[in-house]
A and B are shown apart, each in its own frame.
Chain A
Amino acid sequence: MKRPERLWLALAAAALVVLPWYGLEDTVDAVLALRPEAMPALGQAAFGGCFWLLPLLLAPALAGWGVARGRPRLLVAGGVIGIAWLALEGLAIIHRGWGWDFLSVLGPAPTQPALGWGALLFALSCAMLVAIGLARLGRCRGDVFVVAAILLTGLSILLFIGLPLLSVLASAVRDDAGHTDVSQFLHKLTDGSIWGFGCLHGGGACGSAWNSLAMALLVGVTSTALGLAFALVAVRTRVRMKSLLGLLSILPVITPPFVIGLALIILFGHAGMATVFLADHFDIPRSRWIYGLPGIAIAQTLAFTPIAYLVMAGVLQAVSPSMEEAAQTLRAGPWRTFRTVTWPLIRPGIANAFLIGFIESMADFGNPLMLGGNYTVLSTDIFFAVVGATHDQGRAAVLAIVLLVFTLSAFMAQRLWQEGRSFTSVSGKGDAGLHPPLPGGLKALCAAAVLPWIVLTVVVYGIILGGGFVVDFGRDNSLTLKYFLTAFSIEHGVGGWFLSGSAWSSFITTLELALVAMPFTAGLGLLTAWLLARQDFAGKGLFEFGTMMSFAIPGTVIGIAYILAFNVPPLELTGTGIILVLAFVFRNMPVGIRAGLASLSQLDRSLDEASLTLGARSFRTVRLVVLPIIRPAVITAMVYAFVRAVTAVSAVIFLTTAQYQLATVYIVGRADVGEDGMALVYSAALIVVMVAALGIIVLLVGRQRIGRRGLAAGNMGVGVA
């Protein structure tokens, strides 16, 4: 496309005169029924009295003038005015009158519904006009693709991460009537239910912030310790369990987070299998110990140890054997070598694994929901503040802020920690050599930690996969297809075959939305990674900060932020499928960023540069050189985007509706009313679907390996100055 500005100019104009300006859903019906809000902006201004839409015409007018005269400055001006006015009038005039109180001096308020497809296309075209104008002015060396990519990802991050978080802040300082009330905010912020110390001096419970913190610290420690033990066994002993550990390490990715909690209840609950067994045979009285901190901690440790294992295994492998061999030749025994060389070298990795466990635990929603009992934590408190009897959005917002501050600080700490301590022992030179054997005592210790864990994991997954096929696990173990059929039956009725099972609707909705979100999640993430890794531009620091925020935001916070931000015009999305897709995309975008950054850092920059010097612009370079080479990362990002969308619960539990019911939310509901069999059979079905999805990556990526032989050659000999 030689002259993209003409295309986008035409689209901007079309957005104003052709597409319906208001309303995102049932657009086709609305147009066919000639409903007033389905008129385009120009029609709204002419016949609907929406005179405030008229200035939007300035945008295509200015830009058109700029195109005709070859003056890129006018393109930029037109685009900026278009977007700015769209935002301004959209926020100033909302569905119930003036959006800002001070505007009431202007007289009685007009109203307008939420923005629709026309407005969306208009905003996009304006952004593109700005990008083209800036590129023509020489920004980013005149590369339209780069400017547009920066602008569009930046704007979308601002709109779907920045704005929601701002709404959380705003609603935290507002009272129910919508007036700013800082004293009430402070009151809520310092509330005893968040910061109380009741549990320490007897009687009463501690605040949820302390509970969350204690839990996160505990889980950080246990999962790191277990992960380290696993990694030591896997990497430093001759025990053949790498493939078993590899399998276990993908389990948490494909397991809906609360299912482990559910399995633990079936095992150790008041009427659980193990509880009953112990009571019957050893007279150990039944108790509810599993509900509360112990249960949550066990469930989360089960869930997050594999992540810690992956981190620690990587770190242990990165320790150059020659370091340890050097220590041995200096007469250090196994213990001394481990203590003085290995341990100091892996310490930063341990801190890293701990912080990851800490953040995951803080953000986890499903397990506390299942096992919390009276032990309140921030993530579930937010949920109950919204859906509970009190329905206090202000409180939910305050809790979300507290939770966000915790996770964000931990995340920042982890980043600083990682940056300050690179592993100097990874030299890139040939690191031949053998790691020394583990000291005997340490080996025994690791084995003692690992074996019970494996047993527990196997039992838990046995329950998850098999529990849906017996009548009542532990009490009546006769096999049954009852639950499976209730959930997934297909019947032949009057109209032919139909899906009569109760789970089908949510199952299909989940797969549909996850599939829709998948390319956007991966695309946005990879594009962001490419910008971060390969482009320098003004404001990159800010851009990086924005993307990094997305790594640290707990799902519950995203959920509450989305209902607060997108509940009312100008962007009214709640109740639509769009908001679920958006939540998936921006919650899981880090998956794509990580995959992209990891593989771009392996890809020699001179390949991009070679393409540029051969006359290919960056878009062509990305399409022909970068994407084909990082294809494994693309596939990985896609599949993980899909899998994480399917297993998501915290971000979407606020956002689902009867029309858009999701699998995880449905399962939580079943478990909540005690239909464990249904919950388990459904979870097992999800796990099977996701194993299939992962199998597809392994197949595709595995095949890709063959073609990668040449990559090493392309990378060869880099690094000589």
Chain B
Amino acid sequence: MNRLAVEFQGVSKLYGQAAAVDDVSFTIEPGTLVTLLGPSGCGKTTTLRLLAGLEPASRGRILIGGRDVTALSAAERNVSMVFQSYALFPHMNVRENACYGLRAGGMRRAEAEAVAREKLRQVGLAGFEERLPGQLSGGQQQRVAVARAIVLEPEVLLFDEPLSNLDAKLRRHVRDEIRALQQTLKLTVVYVTHDQQEALAVSDRVIVMNAGRIAQDGSPRELYEQPVSRFVADFIGDANLMPVTVCGIDDATASVSLGGVTLSLPRRGLADGTAELAVRPQALRLAHGTTGPVLPGHIRKVCYLGSHMEYEVVLDGIAGAFFISDPDVVRPLVEGDAAGILVDAAAVALVPPE
């Protein structure tokens, strides 16, 4: 039996007239980690809170484990949440925090403490049981919050930007820990972040949101390689975006011409006419004298970044500029130099125009 862990059916959340979440539908398979990704204010937190039951939905249905929970309160839904601020109860020690959900469910103290101790051990906090939250570091607090949430073995575990209060070094470590924990315990996790790299790194699937709606829903690879819109291409992986004209199509491919170079790309349902070209930074190289189809251009800006150079190159004859990184830091080009650009069609995608 493979019931869906979560199902949103046309869910909206209105604050007054404004829709923070606008007709959102998606499903989540059990045992997967799905990320809600998008810029600040796009409705990720609201979606998560709708799922947790902290906000009532204005429209639509929410199902968890196949059961309609739209009308149920947070206390009645089998989900747990790790808050951005962790929301550890400051007057309870680590053990009491971890036991809280079990005790609320009516479990006897001794039993609850045994379960909590085991989960605290799993997150690497054995020995910290008697500390107050105020006596822990940020990373440890975060783990307490995770332990407190997973003791209930919820059907769905929610994370709201769990790394935003950690310093940059710790982020990566905690991110990997969360992913490892999710995979060992086979948890269904919904994870909110505004950091695309974090999203690509941890997720089985990513739901990109924009202005309260879903912009794209797919695996990290799909999002990166086949963005369905300019917004997604721009948001994920900092693509260079450039308007182009589709000059010929057949079944699977479309030809576009860019400054004299013709590229043959997967068509992705596009028709003749204008389109947008999303060019990943790694698709571009400086020609350094090689022959072949190169795009001619000029260096506009030079930036020394230690391990490599970054150039902004304006193309001759086309309005537009590319950012290109180049490993040759010994003999850098200077502003005004002519530069040819090699394009690797494998890292270029066509995107429908806005």
Q: Which residue of A lies closest to B39 (CB)?
A: A721
Task: Indicate if A594 sits at the interface (CB-CB under 8 A).
Answer: no
Task: Indicate if A708 sits at the interface (CB-CB under 8 A).
Answer: yes
Is A717 touching B91 in the complex (CB atoms < 8 A)? no
Chain A, residues 44-74, CB within 8 Å of chain B (1/0): the string is 0000000000000000000000000000000
Task: Indicate if A424 sits at the interface (CB-CB under 8 A).
Answer: no
Is B89 touching A607 in the complex (CB atoms < 8 A)? yes
Residues in B whose Cβ lies below 8 Å from that of A609:
49, 52, 54, 74, 81, 83, 87
Task: Indicate if B197 sits at the interface (CB-CB under 8 A).
Answer: no
Known A615-B75, A720-B164; contact A715-B104, beta-carbon cutoff 8 A: no
Is B40 touching A607 in the complex (CB atoms < 8 A)? no
Task: Indicate if A616 sits at the interface (CB-CB under 8 A).
Answer: yes
Residues in A whose Cβ lies below 8 Å from that of B83:
606, 609-610
Known A142-B73, A721-B41; contact A614-B148, beta-carbon cutoff 8 A: yes
Q: For the complex, what is the distance from the CA of A607 to the CA of B84, rounded to whole Å?
A: 11
Interface residues in B231-266 (C-beta closer than 8 Å to A): none
Is A606 touching B74 in the complex (CB atoms < 8 A)? no
Is B152 touching A709 in the complex (CB atoms < 8 A)? no
Q: For the complex, what is the distance from the CA of A169 to the CA of B148, rounded to whole Å?
A: 56
Is B133 touching A714 in the complex (CB atoms < 8 A)? yes
Q: For the complex, what is the distance from the CA of A276 to the CA of B310, rounded to whole Å?
A: 92
Q: How far is the CB of B47 from chain A (nearest CB, A)?
A: 13
What is the predominant secondary structure among interface residues of chain A facing chain B? helix
Residues in A whose Cβ lies below 8 Å from that of B138:
716
Q: For the complex, what is the distance from the CA of A241 to the CA of B236, rounded to whole Å?
A: 60
Known A707-B91, A716-B165; contact A613-B100, beta-carbon cutoff 8 A: no
Q: How far is the CB of A717 from chain B (nearest CB, A)?
A: 4
Task: Indicate if B325 sits at the interface (CB-CB under 8 A).
Answer: no
Residues in A whose Cβ lies below 8 Å from that of B146:
none
Interface size on A, residues (CB 8 A): 36
Chain B, residues 41-54, CB within 8 Å of chain A (1/0): the string is 10001000100111
Is B74 touching A713 in the complex (CB atoms < 8 A)? no
Residues in A whose Cβ lies below 8 Å from that of B89:
607, 610-611, 624-625, 629, 714
Q: For the complex, what is the distance from the CA of A604 to the CA of B85, rounded to whole Å?
A: 9
Q: For the complex, what is the distance from the CA of A721 to the CA of B79, rounded to whole Å?
A: 22
* Selected contact of A713 from candidates B56, B77, B90, B104, CB within 8 Å: B90
Known A609-B74, A721-B45; contact A616-B87, beta-carbon cutoff 8 A: no
Task: Indicate if B269 sits at the interface (CB-CB under 8 A).
Answer: no
Task: Indicate if A462 sits at the interface (CB-CB under 8 A).
Answer: no
Q: How far is the CB of B170 from chain A (nearest CB, A)?
A: 13
Task: Indicate if A628 sits at the interface (CB-CB under 8 A).
Answer: yes
Q: For the complex, what is the distance from the CA of A607 to the CA of B75, rounded to whole Å?
A: 14
Task: Indicate if A712 sits at the interface (CB-CB under 8 A).
Answer: yes
Q: For the complex, what is the distance from the CA of A390 to the CA of B149, rounded to whole Å?
A: 71
Q: For the complex, what is the distance from the CA of A617 to the CA of B161, rounded to whole Å?
A: 25
Known A613-B79, A720-B164; contact A714-B88, beta-carbon cutoff 8 A: yes
Is A610 touching B81 in the complex (CB atoms < 8 A)? yes
Chain B, residues 97-125, CB within 8 Å of chain A (1/0): the string is 00011001100000000000000000000
Q: Which residue of B lies closest to A612 (CB)?
A: B74
Q: For the complex, what is the distance from the CA of A618 to the CA of B75, rounded to whole Å?
A: 9
Q: For the complex, what is the distance from the CA of A716 to the CA of B89, rounded to whole Å?
A: 12
Q: For the complex, what is the distance from the CA of A492 to the CA of B75, rounded to whole Å?
A: 63
Q: How far is the CB of A389 from chain B (nearest CB, A)?
A: 58
Task: Indicate if B132 sits at the interface (CB-CB under 8 A).
Answer: yes
* Selected contact of B81 from candidates A613, A629, A720, CB within 8 Å: A613
Chain A, residues 113-147, CB within 8 Å of chain B (1/0): the string is 00000000000000000000000001001110000
Task: Indicate if A242 sits at the interface (CB-CB under 8 A).
Answer: no
Task: Indicate if B354 sits at the interface (CB-CB under 8 A).
Answer: no
Chain B, residues 119-137, CB within 8 Å of chain A (1/0): the string is 0000000000000111110
Task: Indicate if B188 sits at the interface (CB-CB under 8 A).
Answer: no
Q: Which residue of A lies closest to B134 (CB)?
A: A710
Is B85 touching A615 in the complex (CB atoms < 8 A)? no
Is B134 touching A611 in the complex (CB atoms < 8 A)? no
Chain B, residues 125-169, CB within 8 Å of chain A (1/0): the string is 000000011111010010000001100100000100100110000
Task: Indicate if A454 sits at the interface (CB-CB under 8 A).
Answer: no
Interface residues in A560-616 (C-beta closer than 8 Å to B): 604, 606-607, 609-616
Task: Indicate if A718 sits at the interface (CB-CB under 8 A).
Answer: yes
Q: Which residue of A lies closest to B104 (CB)?
A: A616
Interface residues in B23-80 (C-beta closer than 8 Å to A): 40-41, 45, 49, 52-54, 56, 71-77, 79-80
Chain A residues with a Cβ under 8 A of chain B:
138, 141-143, 604, 606-607, 609-618, 620, 624-625, 628-629, 707-718, 720-721
Which 6 residue pairs are nearest across A and B when measured between Cβ atoms?
Answer: A710-B134, A710-B90, A614-B101, A141-B73, A610-B87, A616-B104
What are 29 A-B contacts defined by CB distance under 8 Å?
A: A141-B73, A143-B73, A606-B87, A609-B81, A609-B87, A610-B81, A611-B104, A612-B54, A612-B75, A613-B52, A613-B75, A613-B79, A613-B80, A613-B149, A613-B158, A614-B100, A615-B76, A615-B105, A617-B104, A624-B89, A709-B90, A709-B134, A710-B134, A710-B135, A713-B141, A714-B86, A714-B133, A716-B165, A717-B84
Chain B residues with a Cβ under 8 A of chain A:
40-41, 45, 49, 52-54, 56, 71-77, 79-81, 83-91, 100-101, 104-105, 132-136, 138, 141, 148-149, 152, 158, 161, 164-165
